[in-house]
Amino acid sequence: MEQKVLDQIMDEPKKSVDEEQSAFTGWVLKYTKDSEKRDPAVLALNQIVLSFAAIHTSGMAVTHCLYDLAARPEYIQPLREEIEKVIAEDGYEDDGDGIKKLKKSSLPRLRKLDSFMKESQRHAPAGLFGNTRVVVKPLHLSTGHTIPPGTKIAYNLWATQMSTSSLSMSPTYNPPNYHAPAEFDGFRFSNLRAMEGKENKHQFVSTAPDSLSFGHGNHACPGRFFASNEIKVILIEVLRTYDLRLKGDVEGTGGVEKRPEDLVNAGSIMPNPFAEIEFKSRKKDVI
């Protein structure tokens, strides 16, 4: 089947760049060596890699958010109130089968939810390091040092996003109710966006030299916009439909010290796969 798809695409008249990038296959083929463009094994491998990267990272981000909500239940009600307010103002879309769906245009209005996601990701990005590269020729630094060819280099992602030397984490850049970078402030970024001139900055999908979870520049993650919507939809469903708590937290009071400890392996940061969260239906009619 893949061979038929490849042959069909390769035999069609050349399309515009926009048309080529509208489908995964065309997008990948654009950057595939000519000698490999008709090889279904190459396409299959790229599909597997992309699927793993997309599903794996989004799943981890959702899990981190759920752990943070269970450990910090004080955020649950404000997030629910924001969600219900936006739904009440924007209404729903009917899919034609009588099923009401949240409007895509409503998602950007959920600034507190967006902020909570970004803060959760800041504390637990996919890895400690980012943009690993291999030096192909001697790299001369301003310090006088030279990095030889073949050396692997990367930036310290976690440390950058936790440092007061970073612009968005500096006290002078933030509002008076600023929390130090080491502290978890779920509404850190929605508070920043409430400041004049920063309304469209510091979103979950935003990248910057001090916000590197999705990379930055030409190679920033192209799927981050889809991932943002996907994660929001999941969290909206959970928050509207269920109460949640860490297993054993009978009173549901949470506690930072109770949050399942992340696992770090070969530089990757993963949510604890052995932790458990308890869900209970809110027993409320939720559309």
Q: What is the DSSP letter of 127?
A: B
| Gyration radius (Cα) of the chain, Å | 22
Would you list the DSSP string of 138-182?
A: -EE-TTS-EEPTT-EEEEEHHHHHT-TTSGGGSGGGS-TT---TT
Q: Is 65 annotated as a binding residue?
A: no
Nearest residue to 114 (alpha-carbon basis) of 179, 167, 192:
192
Helix (H) or strand (E) holding 229: helix 224-241
Q: Tell me if 260 sits within 8 A of 272, measured CB to CB.
A: yes
Q: What is the DSSP letter of 102?
A: E
Contacts for 212-220: CB closer than 8 Å, 24+ residues apart: 212/125, 212/130, 212/131, 212/155, 212/157, 212/160, 212/161, 213/121, 213/122, 213/125, 213/126, 213/130, 213/157, 213/161, 215/130, 215/131, 216/131, 219/131
Indicate the annotated binding residues.
Answer: 221
Annotated binding site for heme: 221
